[in-house]
Each structure stands twice: as C-alpha cells, then as structure tokens.
Amino acid sequence: MTGVARKQQMVSLNAASAVISRIITSNDAYAALGAYAHADASMQPALEKIALASARLRLIMASAPFAPPSLLDRLAQAADLQLALRLAKNPSTPPEGLRRLLRGAPTEPVRCLIAAHPQADAAILSGLSQDGAIRVRRAVSGNSQTPATVIRLLAQEDDAQIARNVASAPQADTQTLHRLWATADAWVRAEVAAHPNCSPNILAKAETSADPLIRRKCAANPALVPEVLQRLLVDPDDRVRAAAVRNPVVSGERLDQAGDPSASVRRLFARRSRLSPHLLARLTADPDVWVRRWIARNPDVPTRLLEQLARDTSMDVRRGVARNPACPAYLVDVLAADAEAWVRAGVALRPDATESVIAQLLDDTDRDVLSALGRNPRTPHANLVAIARHPDKDVRRSVAFNDAAPPDALIVLLEDDYPLNRALAAGCPGLRLWQIERFLDDPEPQVRFAAAARLARATLTLEPEWRS
Amino acid sequence: MKIMVAVKQVAFLDDEFEIRDDGRDVGEDFFEKDLNEFDHFSVEQAMLIKEAAGGDAEVVIVIVGDEDADDALRTALAKGADRGIRVWDDALAEADGIAVAKVLAKLVEREKPDMVFTGAQSADFGSAVTGMALAGFLGWPHAAVVSNLDYASGARTATLRRELEGGLEEIMTIRCPAVLSIQLGINQPRYASLRGIKQAKQKPVDELSLDDLGLSAAEVAPASRVRRMYAPERGKAELITGSAAEQAARLAEIIKELRGM
Amino acid sequence: MAELLVIAGQRGGELLMSSLEAITAARGVKQAGDTLAVAIIAADPQAYVGALSAEGVDEVIAIKATDDFQPDLIEAAIMALAGARKPALIVTAHGVDAWSFAPAAAVKLDCGLATDVQALRREDGELVVTRAGYAEKVLVDVDFPGKQTVLLTIRTNVFQPASGSSAPKVTEMVPPTADIATTHEGWKSPADAGGIDISGAEFILSIGRGVGDESNVEQFLQLAGSMGATLGCSRPIADSGWLPKARQVGQSGQLAASCKLYIAMGVSGSVQHQWGMKHVENIVAVNTDPEASIFSIARYGIVGDMFEIAEELENHF
Ligand SMILES: Cc1cc2nc3c(=O)[nH]c(=O)nc-3n(C[C@H](O)[C@H](O)[C@H](O)COP(=O)(O)OP(=O)(O)OC[C@H]3O[C@@H](n4cnc5c(N)ncnc54)[C@H](O)[C@@H]3O)c2cc1C
Ligand SMILES: Cc1cc2nc3c(=O)[nH]c(=O)nc-3n(C[C@H](O)[C@H](O)[C@H](O)COP(=O)(O)OP(=O)(O)OC[C@H]3O[C@@H](n4cnc5c(N)ncnc54)[C@H](O)[C@@H]3O)c2cc1C
C-alpha cells in the first residue's frame, strides 16, 4: 500500500470512535490503557474490561504510574490486599481512590503508604494522624502536605522521628518550633534553626550557638535578615560560611569574600548569580578547578573571562563554557573544534549553534556529539534522518527527543529494531496520525500503549487531520 | 551444519507477592515472564556463526515449557533462527535443570547438532546447571561461562575464553561438538526487527511430548525437591533515619569505614 | 557413619580459598562417626596438604596430575571416589570451575544436586539446604528424597574459611583415566581502566532523574570527586546529554563489575538499572520515595532529598 493510500484509509477512519473501536476490537490491554484517559465516557467501560481482564492485568495496572487516575480509582473499589498495596504505592492514585482504600480498613503497611502518598489530602492526613500505629503517624508527620493543625498535634508525641519530621515540616508553625527548640536534642534544634517559620528569638540564639551544626543550619535559613547572614559569612567554620554563601538572602552583589581560604566555600561563590565583576574575575583565575568549572557555567560571566576559561587546560571547564548560555558565537566556534568530544558535545546541544558549527560537528563520529545533534532543533532535517539511521541505537533515539524532528526522521525510528526507540517515536508530536495507527499492532506493549494514547488524545482534541 | 540453542522463559517477581497456599512457590499472578537475558547472547552467538558461514548453518531453538513458553521461543526465532522445538508434559511441572537437561539430551540425539549453546545461568533460579548437565548426559566436551568464542561452522575444535573470578579469563581449546554455556557480554545481541518478529510467527515449531521422545515420567525426575519457599528476612534496607544532617553524618561514617578512610 | 567429601580446587598452582569455605560448610553437617575427606587435583598435590588440614578434616586425598583445569578429569575423579567410597555428601565451592564440572558429575553419578547453596542443615535426619530463587527475592529449602549421594556447590563468601588444624591421613590417588577434551592455552588479565571506568570502579556514586536539571549535575560530579567515587548515572541522564554515555549504569549501559560500594541518589531502581548494579554488596539508596524499588536491593536506605544529603555529605569530605 502506498503512503497516500494509507492516508486515505485513515481519513475514512476519521471519527474518534473509530479509533477506539479499533482498539477495542484488538482486545489489547496496553492499547486499551493508552486510550482510556482520552476516550469518551461511553467507551470507557469497554476499554476498562480489556485493560483489567485478568487478575495479573489488574495487578499490573494498579502499580503502573502511567495508568489513568480514574482507572486506578475504579480498581480501588474492590481492592484486595495485593491491589491495595500497589494502589497505595502508585503516585497516580487520586485522593478519592486513597479514601476508598481507607474505607476498606486496610492493613498497617497500606495505611503507611497512604500516609506518605503525595496525593493524600488534608482530610486523609488528619484522619491518619489519629492512627493507632506509630509508623503511620510518623509517615503523616513526614508528608509535606500535612496541615499545620495536624503538625501541631503530632509535635506532642514523644518520638524522635516525629520530632525530626515536624521540625522540618513546611507547615510547622512558630509555636510548635519554639516548643521543639526548648525540649529536643541538637539534631532537631538544628532543623528548627533552619526553618523559615522559626522565631527571630531562636535565630539569635542559633547564630551564636557553640555548635557549628546549629550555626550552619541557621545560616541556611531563608528567613534570615541580611545583617545576621553577613555575620555568618565570616564565621570561623568553613561549613557555616559555605551554608551562608548558598543562602540567597544576601544578593550576589553584596558578597565579596572571594578570597575565602576554603576552596569549597569559593566553589559556592562561583555558583551564585549577580556577583560583582571583580569577584567574577578572581574566581575565573582560581587555582581550584572546581571553582573554575562552576564559574564557567555561570551566565553572568562576561565574554572576556569566558574567553579565558575556554582556553582552560581542564576539559570540564571548557565543557562548562560550551554549556553557558552567555557563551558568544565566536567562542562557540572555537569550542566546536575542541580536541575533547565531551566539549564538542556540549556545543552540539546548544540551541543557538550556527549552521556552520552544526555542519562541522556533523562530521564527528563521537556518539555523545551525534546524540546531542540528534536532539538539536537546528540540525538540518536530512541530517536528522541520517542520525535516525545511525548504527548505535542510543544515537538514533536522540532524534525522538527533538521537537523539530521531521516526520521523515521519525518514520525511520518507527521501524527501529530497538523497541524503546519505536515507543518514543510513536509518542512524538511530529508524526502524522496515519503513520502511528499501525503501531497498535506492535509486538511491544509500550509501543502499543504510546501509539494508542497518542491516537486517542488526537481524537479528543480533534486534530485538523481528523476532521477532513 | 547445525547449532542448537536451548532457551528458557524466566519469571520476574513483582515487588509485592504472595507465596502459594502449598508454601512451595509464588502465586502465578505475581510473575512477569521473558526470555532469559543470557539466551539473547547465546542466540546471537549462533547467528554470528551462521552469518560467518554465509548462512550455511541451521540454528534450532529448543525450549522445555508449556504454551506460555512459546513467547520466549518466538522471541529467539525473531532474531533469525530457523526453527524451534518445544517439549512439554505435565510430568515436567517440577523439573529442575537436571530434568530439563535429560529432555534436551534426547533432542540432541534426534537433531545431531554440531554445537550446543545454553545460557550460563538463568535470571530467576540461576542454578547454572542445565547446560553442563546436558553435556554430562551426552558425554560431550563442555565449558561453562564462555565469554569469547572462536569457532567456525563445522570445525573440529574451538578456541574459547572462560570468564573466571575477578575478571581473569582462561583461554582454552575444546573439541567439538561441544556444549558451551554462554556468558553475558560475549557479543552485542541484536534486537529483532519488526520483520523478524512477523516472520517468527510463521516459522516451524515442533511440539513434542515426553512420549514422542521415548521418555517416561520417572526418567525426568529432578535431582532435588522444593520443601518450602519463603521471603528472606533481610532484603529491605536498613534505614538511616534522622534529620538530613544526621543521615549524612552516618552515611559519611559508612563510606569511610568501607573505604578504609 | 557416613563419608563427606570436599572437592578442593586450585588455579594455576594457587589454592582457591573458597575450598576452605566448602570445608566449613561440610563440617557443619558432619555427625559423630562421619569422616570428612578433602580431595585436590594438582601437579604437586602434596603442597596443599598443610593448607587443607583444617579442623575436622580426617583425610586429604592427593591426586597428582596437572594444574590445568580439566573438567573431564575432575568428573572422572569424582566418579572414581564416589564409586569406591559411596559418600553421602560431596561439597565444592560454587566458583566458575564448579559451574563446568559439578552438574556433569551429578548426572553421571545420578545423585542429588543443589547449586549456589547458602545454608545446610538436617531436619529429622534429612539433609535440607537453602538457596535463593526468583533473582534473590525468595529463599527455597530443598531436599533430596531417595538420593544416596548429594552434591552441593556452596555460595562463596558465605561460610567462614575453615581454620584450626588437624593431622589428617594423606592418601595418594592415581588419577583416573579420562578422555580430556579441553586444553589450557593461557590466561587473559582484565583490561586496564582508563578514563571513565564504571566497570572497574570500586566506589560509585550514581545519580538518576531525581537530579532534576543539567545545572545540578556538576555538584554531584564534585561530590563524587571529593569522596573518591566515580560518578555513574541512570539512563535518562545520559539520554539527555547531561553526562556521557560511558557513565550510564545498567542493561544498556555499563555493568558495575568491580564495585563494592554503590550510592544511588534519585534513582528509582528500575530492573534495567538494577541489572548493572544489584550484585554490589553495599548499596546505599537515597530517595525521597520510601517505596522506590531501589530500597528493596539496598543495604542501607536514606529516605530523603538527594540535594540535602549531598550538601550535608560535602561537609564530611
Ligand atoms: C519453585 C520452582 C518453580 C518453578 N516453576 C517453573 C515454571 O513455572 N516453569 C518452568 O519452566 N520451570 C519452572 N521451574 C524449573 C526451574 O526454572 C528449573 O530449575 C530450570 O528449568 C533450570 O534451571 P535454571 O533456571 O536454574 O537454569 P540454569 O541451570 O541456570 O541454566 C540456564 C540455561 O539453561 C537452559 N535452560 C534452562 N531451562 C531450560 C528450559 N526449560 N528449556 C530449555 N533450556 C533451558 C537455557 O539455555 C538457560 O539459559 C521451577 C523451579 C522451582 C524450584
Ligand atoms: C530496553 C531498556 C533498556 C534500559 N536500559 C537502562 C540502563 O541501562 N540504565 C538505566 O538506568 N535505565 C535503563 N532503562 C530505563 C529504565 O527503565 C528507567 O526508565 C530508568 O532507569 C529510570 O531512571 P531513574 O531511576 O533515574 O528515573 P526515575 O524512574 O524517574 O526515578 C527518579 C527517582 O528519583 C527520586 N527523586 C526525585 N527527586 C528526588 C530528590 N530530590 N531526592 C531524592 N530522590 C528523588 C524519585 O522518587 C524517583 O524514585 C532502560 C529501559 C529500557 C526499556
């Protein structure tokens, strides 16, 4: 069949329901799962029947993070222990599904999983905070969604783990932190000192604490006033200064200790933005290679200094310059001819690489360079087709990550021997729907899933091609 | 010239599973099945030899297993092997590597291959028994954990390397026909092309019973019996708890201790 | 009164130390009145008698032949010994050499066989041994109904090497005639590690998609550097071009073959990643998700944020 004939055939299949019907007829669990979330409610029961046909499939679907939430909620309605464990663990299970599981009086391991679930809401968490099992309450105290009222209650428990969780819970309030500071051990107090809700009173004590851990945590507190931070920036302890340098409360322009005796502190300076020109210059000439590696990636570094870094003897420093968005075109040209492939690969990833640079790199044989070109939207279409045919499957796959990949290149990938490459290609927006349809029969489940999801999504949004 | 490759369908357990009521195996819903990883390499090795001989060699895939095992067999055929044989009988339900080898030995007598490959071990039970037990039944030359092979189709001897402990390899020559168990990494296994997968569905597969091979159930008795199966106590990690500072302090201790720092 | 037989091994004239572990394993099920004999094949077998005379060893059988590994010869020796002595138990280490000869010897003897055994004991007088199944996710207890002789290969590094001393009887045995089908031609040593060498690295710090963004990768390179670790990664990190492909651990990347300590941060522990590292003895997992599968293969786990842990770790190196 010619491409045109195939296309015509698809056009005749343009109604959304036709695709779904086809998936239903194929009786394939993965294609059904792919289509489910995008299918019309009237079609869902039929798809669900296919996707959940056997006990094995139900177990697989319950633990699949890519399963649609509504399907997971369905599974929660009649979950035995094994299904409940999988659903409680699956990050895609929606709050309704979790609530359903709780109504079935689940075992302690399941309750623990729900207490730690990223989609557990305030109501679920406050219910579980009354749980008889300490492990469940610990999990609640460690869930970042747990509301302030619940945190306050849990803070009264005499449990070392809960105390630690509460001290770093985002919702912990000032009073709770105050109580912990007064009663708990040094590790917990250190967490309190780092908490943005902790009182200025505590911060004042923490700043002058004899324990460097507490000063260090205090120096990391995002609620610190600049004056306090300035004092901690000159703390005798390296680790305290390092924490202070990381703290964005003092803006880069006001940092000036680039002569810090500790290389690890200077490395952190090199990572800050808006540093003064004088500081940037000093860091560029730093004897520590890691300082130079960081500064090479710093977008605030002026061209003159980047030029210096582009000549660095360390390959990693030069790679840093190649990855710096502020790197000017003429330096990009220089780095494109670097002796080290990893530096050239850095250039090949640049969305601003010029035609001539790309042309030059296309002669490269290194796989990191070619993979980078495969992802680069500026690589000419003919070359992307060639990369999609490269003998190395990892090089070929890079084209599937390229938003600008033309259908010609993606079609090559759709015929790839390597299943993962086909699966990724089947999900690419660059492909025409008629090109994807036959992947509903692919031997690999993940390819069928990707193809069905893409087709069903297209029918939902009525991509123009379907309306013709 | 003929190469026989024995392949196994292995089972991967889910993270959460339950032991069957009789306490001797895991419930059948908790498995995912696939062709044994090692067998990708042994099939590839056979294909390389066939291709080096200008296609003038037959690659026969054999498997002992029920219908379920057809998937693994077809996966191997899709890479270009010529035909398959699947042997099954309910009497093989408790077969171990020895019992499987007994069946394979009968197939070798029937097919008279010039070379037999197995995987060095299976990904699930990993007994590393089947291939060398087969050689024992046949009285054939044998070598296990072959990481490099220089063998031309039909040759009287082969030169191979056995991968030993610590990355050391032994170079040895071996008389052929032989049974070799193939190690991961001996080659770069190909992926079946879509065309190959389609063709594999049409390739001839003989389905044989123990009867067909002239074997009685008593002759395929295993060399051991499962008394019970259970989840190990360990397995779950020892959790390092506390605040991040506390956890990192403990981790640093562990690193320094293990690294002798 | 039964005889227990241990098959010791040597490689290129050096005793394989796992032979001493096999002695310990056999001694563990030795009952009053049993005798424990250890056989060794070598060019100069007498040279091993001292090392093999560990506590509980009653006899050393010295078979003077060659230092070359010849499975056919070992199998013939086992057949001859078993024929003459009818041992209840034959034990050898589950090393690569045993992979070649133990199953073939077992079928020739028509005896019971279990390989890669981690524990052995008697239950109501019957020998029961434990081995792993389903990629180490379960343990299996097996027995050997109706078998007069049982051959076991013992997982290495599980049993303590036998120590102590004894004054065993030393028996010289003429090597049996065997049709030897293999010829030793030489050795090949592992390749030198140059540049990024995941397979040769003893200490690997590996990062996964939890690292979030390319700009965060450098700090882990730096941390690995200061800890003396090689940085590895999961596939999505290499796929994104954030680290070279040579650093990828897993099925479609590198096998961490020499690794003794593997710290996985922000790696979920997919089967494909595990393929390259799950054998490592000391795995430490750092992951915000306490249910990530990486924890099921880790020795130590930290449920936490990889950035916080990394930042804190920097304070210790
Ligand atoms: C509790 C329990 C449950 C079991 N359930 C099943 C089951 O459901 N289905 C089943 O088939 N077996 C089952 N077995 C049998 C078990 O898998 C055998 O031990 C296996 O067939 C051979 O041993 P191995 O897996 O250790 O392979 P190894 O001895 O490690 O050797 C692997 C190599 O041997 C060859 N090989 C191994 N098995 C076969 C085979 N069947 N056909 C062809 N070549 C083979 C392949 O080349 C493979 O690469 C079970 C065993 C136990 C203990
Ligand atoms: C044929 C095939 C071959 C493959 N080969 C390989 C291979 O060789 N190697 C390989 O690695 N993969 C391979 N894969 C891919 C594999 O299936 C997984 O997709 C991949 O391993 C996932 O990588 P990951 O763990 O980094 O990412 P994810 O699975 O996304 O996991 C990221 C983890 O980071 C955690 N996390 C997030 N934020 C943080 C934080 N701040 N702190 C701590 N933890 C955090 C999350 O909880 C999660 O567990 C292969 C796949 C296929 C199909």
DSSP string, B90-104: GGGTT--HHHHHHHH
B8 CB less than 6 Å from ligand 1? yes
Residue B133's nearest CA partner among B148, B118, B145 is B118
CATH of the domain at B175: 3.40.50.620
> Any chain A CB within 8 A of the CB of B190?
yes
> Any chain B CB within 8 A of the CB of A441?
no
The residue of chain B nearest to residue A391, with distances taken between CA atoms, is B190
The residue of chain A nearest to residue B194, with distances taken between CA atoms, is A417
pTM equals 0.81
Q: How far is the CA of A116 from the centre of ligand 2 (A)?
A: 21
Ligand 2: which atom is nearest the Cα of residue C253?
8
The answer, yes or no, to whether the previous bond of A299 is cis (omega within 30 of 0) is no
The residue of chain B nearest to residue C299, with distances taken between CA atoms, is B237
Put simply, the answer to whether C290 touches A116 (Cβ < 8 Å) is yes
Encode chain A (468 residues) as per-residue pLDDT tens digits.
455 545 544 443 445 667 778 888 888 888 888 888 888 788 889 999 999 999 999 999 999 888 999 999 999 998 899 999 999 999 999 999 999 999 999 999 999 999 999 999 999 999 999 999 999 999 999 999 999 999 999 999 999 999 999 999 999 999 999 999 998 889 999 999 999 999 999 999 999 999 999 999 999 999 998 889 989 999 999 999 999 998 988 777 777 766 788 888 999 899 988 888 989 999 999 999 999 999 999 999 999 999 999 999 999 999 999 999 999 999 999 999 999 999 999 999 999 999 999 999 999 999 899 999 999 999 999 999 999 999 989 899 999 999 899 989 998 998 898 888 998 888 887 787 778 887 888 888 888 888 888 887 776 554 444 333
| Domains of chain C, CATH where assigned | 3-173 (3.40.50.620), 203-314 (3.40.50.1220)
Q: Is the dihedral of CA C46, C116, B44, B140 positive or negative?
A: positive
- B164 within some domain: yes
- B85 within some domain: yes
Q: Which of A164, A217, A418 sits opposite B191 (nearest CB)?
A: A418
- B123 within some domain: yes
Indicate which residue's Cα is closest to atom 48 of ligand 2.
C268
Report helix, strand or coil for B205: strand
Name the residue of C237, C270, C309 whose CB sits within 8 Å of the most ligand 2 atoms, as the mutation to test its pocket: C270
Give the number of other Cβ atoms within 10 Å of residue A36's Cβ.
25
Supply the range of the domain harboring residue B17: 2-220
Put simply, the answer to whether B245 touches A419 (Cβ < 8 Å) is no
Q: How far is the CA of B10 from the centre of ligand 1 (A)?
A: 7
* Strand-pair category, C150-154 with C182-188: unpaired
> Any chain C CB within 8 A of the CB of B2?
no
End-to-end Cα, chain B, rounded Å: 58
Residues of chain C with C-beta less than 8 angstroms from the C-beta of A113: 291
Smallest CA–CA distance, residue B18 to chain A, in Å, is 8
Name the residue of B28, B98, B100, B118 whose CB sits within 8 Å of the most ligand 1 atoms, as the mutation to test its pocket: B100
Q: Best residue in A82, A159, A218, A396 to probe B by mutation, most B CBs within 10 Å?
A: A82
Alpha-carbon span A403 to A395, nearest angstrom: 16
Residues of chain C with C-beta less than 8 angstroms from the C-beta of B191: none
Residue C315's nearest CA partner among A216, B196, A407 is A216
Alpha-carbon span A36 to A459, nearest angstrom: 12
Ligand showing the shortest atom-to-Cα distance for residue A418: 2
Put simply, the answer to whether C315 touches A239 (Cβ < 8 Å) is yes
Q: Is A22 exposed, middle or buried (0-12, 13-18, 19+ CB in 10 A)?
A: middle
The residue of chain B nearest to residue A56, with distances taken between CA atoms, is B29
ipTM for the whole complex: 0.92
> Any chain A CB within 8 A of the CB of B247?
no
Q: Tell me: the pLDDT tens digits for C142-201?
A: 999 999 999 999 998 789 999 999 999 999 999 999 999 999 999 987 654 337 889 889
What's the number of domains chain B is made of?
A: 1
Ligand 2: which atom is nearest the Cα of residue C237?
26
